[in-house]
Structure 1
Amino acid sequence: MARRQSGAILSGISLDRQSASTLARQLEDQLRAVILSGALPEGSKLPSSRTLAAELGVSRPTVTEALDRLAAEGFLETRAGAGTFVTSALPRHLPQGAPRQAASTPVGAAANVSGFGGRLGTLDADIDVHDSRPFLPNSPAYDHFPFAVWQQCVNRQTQMSYRGQMGYSEPQGHLPLRQSIADYLALHRGDVCTPEQIVITPGAHAAFMLAAQVLTEPEDAILFEDPGPFIARNLFRSLGRRLLDVPVDAEGMDFDAALLAHPDPRMAFVMPSRNHPLGRTLSPARRQKLLDWAEATGGWIIEDDYDSEFRYQGRPLPSMHSIDRAGRVIYVGTFSKALFPALRIGYLVLPPDLVGLFRNAVALMFRCAPLPAQMALAEFIAEGHFATHLRHMRQLYAERRDQFMAAAEQAGAGLFQADRPDSGMNAVVWLPQGLGDRVIAERAAAAGVHGYALSDYCVARPERPGLLLGFAGVAERQFAPGMAALARVVAEAAR
């Protein structure tokens, strides 16, 4: 049996000692792929680390490091006195690490496509699916997610034997989930709304797309933060909307000059609780000024409440939607960061007179979000598991933020400086003037520090070169060596 299992593993593994990636990382990625391919089914016992090391021709610590990481991600489990096994409840939502297939035709090369199709060919719509790598931004701590509790909720809901679960569900969303979201917003965000104002969507970006298509026309202008989230930026551009890039300063989006130069924006897309990537907050004065603009002109405000759940000092800031008295704010929330991205459940909180329009839009474009996931999430929230998980994650992320800052201060002295965030899952590391942050990001990734260049988020030149690094999904043992590796990269580039 052990020989057959060892053969199943080895047949899918080829380690390259010339690669920039470590042997442990290569082994981890390839073992994950073998498990997810089904070559090692759930419950399979792995050979001992000594056996694998001997047959692969690597050191035992290399194998142990790879197995420990996979265990932390939930792919493997160790049973005292029995050995290491593929977990019996694989976390299917985790990154699968499958190799990306090359397109047979270059992007944008197809003939006779629509204007929308042509715009898609000019944009970088790629996303990094390997979000378990250290320091990659926006990555939750998958190893601390309560898989067992979540699976119990899923099992109870999917085993209910009534026909309604097998067909299309209400396009507006599962009523108990909308009630749970309304209760959560009232308690934790100070935002009192009714379940009737909430529309469930397959993720936040589906909500942004719906808002753009329901409330604006092609060529309409949208105020957009610079720097700002590049995937949302590309989404609006692909839909033919004209983006007015507005600089972000210490008080958030500074839109006065943009409104003077372009008096006709139809919409503003803002992240008032925490700009991504800089982490800055829209000041109360600017919030009110933006609300006044929307009321006076009939404009719309899309409030992306990005990772507001993770605030480390005091309660989360009130949403703009909670102080909107004219019904001009469309609030968008998601469970991608609080739980896990592959859940693909987002939601809109709408003025009452827009609910019917958005419900119809969901029905026509998506039919509905998957009902079993909505039902499981409704139970997860109603039973208090969501609140418990958030409390645990806030504490864990606060500790990891402190570890990140300590490691950055020690390794980066004289080389780089990290901003200490008071919320969120990421931090900006500022680099010396004159360095190219895209070059540093590429070299750092080769050294095992995976982050994004600040320039990737900017239309205008960033105030300083920098990297956006995540700390939420990083294990304690990785902070010091990761920052030391980044310091070596920066020191070499600065010579």
Structure 2
Amino acid sequence: MLTYELDAKNSRSLYEQLYQAIRSDIELARLDAGSKLPSKRTLAQHLGISVITVESAYRQLAAEGYIEAKERRGYFVNELPSVQAHDMSAGSEQIEHQLNAEAATKQIDPVLSSIPSVPSIQATPLLADFSGNDRSGDQFPFHIWAKTVRRTLSEASKGLLLRTAHDNRGSEELRAAIAQHLAHFRGLEASSEQIIIGAGAQDLYGVLVQLLGRERTFAVENPGYPALRTHYELSGAHVVGIPVDESGLDVATLRASRASIAHCSPAHQFPTGSVMSAVRRHELLDWAREASKQDAFRNAERQDVKDRPLKRYIIEDDYDSEFRMRGRPIPPLFMQDTQGSVIYMNTFTRSLGSVFRIAYMVLPPQLLSVFNERFVARACMVGALEQLELARFITSGDYERHVNRQRTAYRRLQDSLVAKIMASEAGNHVRFKGVGSGLHFLMEVDLPAGARSATPFENASLERGIKLIKLDEYRFSPIVEECLCPRLSFTTHSQENSLLQPTYVMNVSGLDAEHANEIATALIDAICFCCDISSGSKHR
């Protein structure tokens, strides 16, 4: 029987303490793979805690892939791959930092304009754009920001502005504020020296290509942001797409691709919404620790490049972890890395709107020294005043309060949409996945058996002011050019059936929670219209 000392007076909740204890035992192999955990009721009685506390801990462990719930059989420990040269005791200490996180920060800064759109038809003004293109910033606290600007202008000295403008890593004040924010909300311990500020994620993509080398092959998730591949290629890198399944980036295909850089979103993959499992995280870290004997895109004329083993790196894109609405935030991969192989990236676009082109990355110490050597002449493209204003906004606590308000509004919007649709006549024709995991979730629609295309449903939605984007529109082809690997699909449906059961990415960022009922009603009407069922008063 599992026995742990849980302290009700601890700053962490009982479920967090229990989650940490069981996760640590799994990481340290104290619990054998395949072993069955005690039932929720049995463990609750043994530890003298509530069943809900045990259930919450088990649910979080299952979400991160440490255990698996088997129907009518209970919870079982998943097998983790052996981690070469991995200091598990250090990893156990790092979990302590992660458990102090109560919210989250980040976001990759995609250029969504490259996403294919629904064919143009004569439509009413958009009521809801689920593509994520519309970020009106209605929830942004302009009056608080205005006060921040005035205070910054009144207190910033000429010397401070000049120092900020000439720091190639960005404002020292902003980097220190971000470091404190990451430690408190993500459990990510890094010094301000490791943080690099950029004018949006695109700016940092270019820096990474120069820092890591254009001779590299960069692997990106497929499906994923189409613009991500474009930005890397425009910076001179060679890019391949790696398929994603329910456990995250497929490491077996990554190995076959011979890429030496992997850009992925372990906490909440876009657009599938998958959370990288604990097993897959260990496999990915193992991959990163191996030296690449042969990168897929080498300049054969450069003997020094051809023969040099390349250290592998993972770019962790933590794009919307501050908006995980149920359970605790998924721990960052950065804190599981003991070999300096993970680069953490985030931007403020999700939380502050597209007008804030400010992003940052956290470099491992050895890469920081390379950055300092190669980018002496780099100028941070974010204005000095803007950096100081954001630093004050974070340290004052206004940023935290703003994100909390946003998270609450988006949670209510998602819950309201899903509940209203499921309670309507359309409820038997749709399924939702990943609600509450972040700013987007998936909606699968059952179209009539005779339907040959999803276009009529998309047009019907657009006529009612709803813009939808299919999951498949975020795929790019070919998936992996340099290796003959089978295509892995996130959905279990065949391509023939997928036309009858299309999956849509429902991105709620930028939507107005006050219009939730109108949006749900419009979607219900579109589904009922295409499925030839009556949309009666049940959802009116």
Normalized against structure 2, the TM-score is what?
Answer: 0.62
Matched, 1:282 2:276: yes
Letter aligned with residue 473 of structure 1: G
1:241 offset after TM fit, Å? 3.5
Determine the C-alpha separation between the residues in 2 that align with 1:382 and 1:171.
22
Contact 1:224 1:245 in 2 (8 A): yes
Structure 2 stretches lacking a partner, 5+ long: 1-111, 118-124, 292-310, 478-488, 492-497, 533-540
Equivalent residue for 1:485, pick from 516, 522, 534: 522
Q: 1:438 to 1:161 in 2, by over 3 A?
A: farther
Q: 1:419 to 1:181 in 2, by over 3 A?
A: same
Equivalent residue for 1:236, pick from 232, 237, 245: 232
Who is 1:142 aligned against? 137
1:429 offset after TM fit, Å? 1.4
Q: Using the TM superposition, name which of 181-190 and 461-470 deviates more.
A: 461-470
What secondary structure does 1:374 align onto? helix
Matched, 1:445 2:462: yes
Q: How does 1:315-464 map to 2 (within 5 A)?
A: 315-358=328-371, 367-411=380-424, 412-432=426-446, 436=453, 440-441=457-458, 443-459=460-476, 463=491, 464=498
- Equivalent residues, number: 368
Task: Please give the per-residue CA displacement for 1:127-180, whole angstroms capped at 9, x wherever unaligned.
Answer: 99xx99624344668333221111111122234452553683312111111111
What secondary structure does 1:330 align onto? strand
Letter aligned with residue 486 of structure 1: L
Q: 1:421 to 1:359 in 2, by over 3 A?
A: farther
Letter aligned with residue 480 of structure 1: N
Matched, 1:214 2:243: no
Letter aligned with residue 449 of structure 1: I
1:270 offset after TM fit, Å? 0.4
Q: How does 1:81-92 map to 2 (within 5 A)?
A: none
Determine the C-alpha separation between the residues in 2 that align with 1:335 and 1:395.
18
Matched, 1:301 2:325: no
What secondary structure does 1:144 align onto? coil
Who is 2:177 aligned against? 180
Determine the C-alpha separation between the residues in 2 that align with 1:491 and 1:323.
48
Contact 1:279 1:423 in 2 (8 A): yes
Task: Please give the per-residue CA displacement for 1:374-394, whole angstroms capped at 9, x wherever unaligned.
Answer: 100100111111111222222
Q: Using the TM superposition, name which of 235-244 and 178-187 deviates more.
A: 235-244
Who is 1:154 aligned against? 149
Who is 2:505 aligned against? 468
Letter aligned with residue 421 of structure 1: V
Q: Using the TM superposition, name which of 409-418 and 321-330 deviates more.
A: 409-418
Contact 2:245 2:490 in 1 (8 A): no
Matched, 1:165 2:161: yes
Structure 1 stretches lacking a partner, 5+ long: 1-122
Who is 2:200 aligned against? 203
Letter aligned with residue 465 of structure 2: G
Q: 1:291 to 1:163 in 2, by over 3 A?
A: same
1:367 offset after TM fit, Å? 4.2
Q: How does 1:32-51 map to 2 (within 5 A)?
A: none
Who is 2:69 aligned against? none
Determine the C-alpha separation between the residues in 1 that align with 2:378 and 2:226.
23
Q: Give the CA RMSD over aligned residues.
A: 3.0
Letter aligned with residue 470 of structure 2: A
Contact 2:317 2:346 in 1 (8 A): yes
1:469 offset after TM fit, Å? 2.0
Letter aligned with residue 179 of structure 1: A
What secondary structure does 1:338 align onto? helix
Q: 1:189 to 1:454 in 2, by over 3 A?
A: same
Q: 1:359 to 1:400 in 2, by over 3 A?
A: farther
Who is 1:256 aligned against? 252
Q: 1:437 to 1:359 in 2, by over 3 A?
A: farther
Equivalent residue for 1:291, pick from 285, 288, 291: 285
Determine the C-alpha separation between the residues in 2 that align with 1:364 and 1:125.
32
Contact 1:454 1:462 in 2 (8 A): no
Q: How does 1:7-86 map to 2 (within 5 A)?
A: none
What secondary structure does 1:414 align onto? helix
Q: 1:343 to 1:477 in 2, by over 3 A?
A: closer
What secondary structure does 2:189 align onto? coil
Contact 1:401 1:472 in 2 (8 A): no
Determine the C-alpha separation between the residues in 1 that align with 2:375 and 2:458.
38
Determine the C-alpha separation between the residues in 2 that align with 1:476 and 1:178.
33
Contact 1:320 1:329 in 2 (8 A): yes
Determine the C-alpha separation between the residues in 1 that align with 2:245 and 2:141.
38
Letter aligned with residue 456 of structure 1: E
Contact 1:408 1:417 in 2 (8 A): no
Task: Please give the per-residue CA displacement for 1:336-370, whole angstroms capped at 9, x wherever unaligned.
Answer: 11222211111010012322544677675654321
Matched, 1:268 2:252: no
What secondary structure does 2:218 align onto? strand
Contact 2:226 2:476 in 1 (8 A): no
1:443 offset after TM fit, Å? 4.8
Contact 1:228 1:277 in 2 (8 A): yes
Q: 1:333 to 1:477 in 2, by over 3 A?
A: closer
Contact 1:440 1:489 in 2 (8 A): yes
Letter aligned with residue 506 of structure 2: L
Contact 1:222 1:241 in 2 (8 A): yes
What secondary structure does 2:147 align onto? helix
What secondary structure does 1:342 align onto? coil
Letter aligned with residue 481 of structure 1: E
Contact 1:137 1:426 in 2 (8 A): no
Q: 1:485 to 1:194 in 2, by over 3 A?
A: same
1:491 offset after TM fit, Å? 4.6
Determine the C-alpha separation between the residues in 2 that align with 1:380 and 1:484.
38
Determine the C-alpha separation between the residues in 2 that align with 1:313 and 1:221.
36
Q: 1:479 to 1:124 in 2, by over 3 A?
A: closer
Letter aligned with residue 157 of structure 1: T
Q: Using the TM superposition, name which of 244-253 and 136-145 deviates more.
A: 136-145
Contact 1:125 1:234 in 2 (8 A): no
Letter aligned with residue 197 of structure 1: Q
